[in-house]
Amino acid sequence: MAAALSAHGWDVVGFLGRRQGLADAAQGVDVLVIATPDDAVAQVAAAVTPCDTTTVVHLSGSLGLDVLAPHPLRAALHPLVPLPNASVGAGRLASGVTFAVSGEPVAREIAESLGGRVVEIADQDRPAYHAAACIAANHVVALLGQVERVAASVGLDLEAFLPLTRAAVDDVASLGPQQALTGPAVRGDWATLSRHLDALPDEERAGYQAGAALATQLAQSTSSTTVPAAV
């Protein structure tokens, strides 16, 4: 975040780490960003002496503004993009991604300065919003970890399956999830799903069953009678 903002006209004056004093962190700055894990945001905010002219911003997707008490100026800014490291993250933050904001207008100002698309998310809606974000990124990565393990059991690597994943995501973008869904769940090939479970080790079955259940739910929700191409 600091690298992205520095490259887009913001003056980043410094950082404070875990073992540094936080009491004066809001002094002499217009914006104080709390970039910690969610469970630490309230504790860090409480350790900072409030300043009437400084907006305190957290980057959590799931938390509301109440965790920033007792600061008078509060905002939330959550980028809808994975940030695996500083260099990749800085580029992605300025690539036109969506930012979920609430509170003081400086959150919108930051997002717009990075060329982002801004959406307002009310405090009561942030847990559900963030759940969707985690499903969209974290859960997909975890599923591909399962792909890698199961593929390895038959002597294949993850790379063999990534074009399938990329094509599926492209189809979702162009057709929507219901029309993009292919495979045994949408065709009602229950014996195939049963064979899959029989072939998997015990530790992989729960994850597969969860995915198959979601695919079945999606298949049953569509009114289309078109049989998708086989996968």
Where are the chain's structural domains? 2-123, 128-221
Which regions of the chain does DSSP assign to beta strands (E)? 31-34, 55-58, 73-79, 98-103, 117-120
* pLDDT for the residue 123: 95
**β-strand partners of 101:** 77, 120
* pLDDT for the residue 80: 97
Looking at per-residue confidence, does 222 or 200 come out higher?
Answer: 200
* pLDDT for the residue 230: 52
User: Do the beta carbons of residue 92 and residue 82 sit within 8 Å?
Assistant: yes
- Euclidean distance between CA atoms 62 and 100, whole angstroms: 10
* pLDDT for the residue 151: 98
- Euclidean distance between CA atoms 140 and 146, whole angstroms: 10
* pLDDT for the residue 18: 84
pLDDT confidence band for 223 (50 / 70 / 90): very low
Contacts of 225 (CB under 8 A, 6+ apart): none
Q: Which CATH superfamily is domain 2-123 in?
A: NAD(P)-binding Rossmann-like Domain (3.40.50.720)
- Euclidean distance between CA atoms 102 and 57, whole angstroms: 10
Q: What is the pTM of this model?
A: 0.88
172-211, pLDDT tens digit by residue? 999 999 999 999 999 999 999 999 999 999 999 999 999 9
Instruction: Report how far apart the first and last C-alpha atoms of the chain are (Å, whole number).
Output: 40
8-21, pLDDT tens digit by residue? 999 999 999 888 99
pLDDT at 225 over 60: no
Residue 70: asked if its preceding bond is cis (omega within 30°), the reply is yes
CA dihedral 181→126→145→213, nearest 10 degrees, is -40
pLDDT at 119 over 60: yes
139-152 average pLDDT score: 97
Mean pLDDT of the chain: 94
Phi, psi at 79, each rounded to 5°: -85, 135
59-91, pLDDT tens digit by residue? 999 999 999 999 999 999 999 999 999 999 999
* Crossing angle between the packed helical segments 202-221 and 140-152, to the nearest 10 degrees: 130
25-67, pLDDT tens digit by residue? 999 999 999 999 999 999 999 999 999 999 999 999 999 999 9
107-123 average pLDDT score: 97
Q: Could you give the C-alpha distances from 90 to 3, 94, 102, 117, 137, in angstroms and in order?
A: 6, 7, 22, 16, 18
User: Do the beta carbons of residue 63 and residue 126 sit within 8 Å?
Assistant: yes
* pLDDT for the residue 231: 55
User: Do the beta carbons of residue 140 and residue 198 sit within 8 Å?
Assistant: no
What burial class does residue 31 get, using C-beta atoms within 10 Å of its C-beta: 0-12 exposed, 13-18 middle, 19+ buried? buried
pLDDT at 228 over 60: no
* pLDDT for the residue 19: 86
Name which CATH class applies to 128-221: mainly alpha
pLDDT at 153 over 90: yes
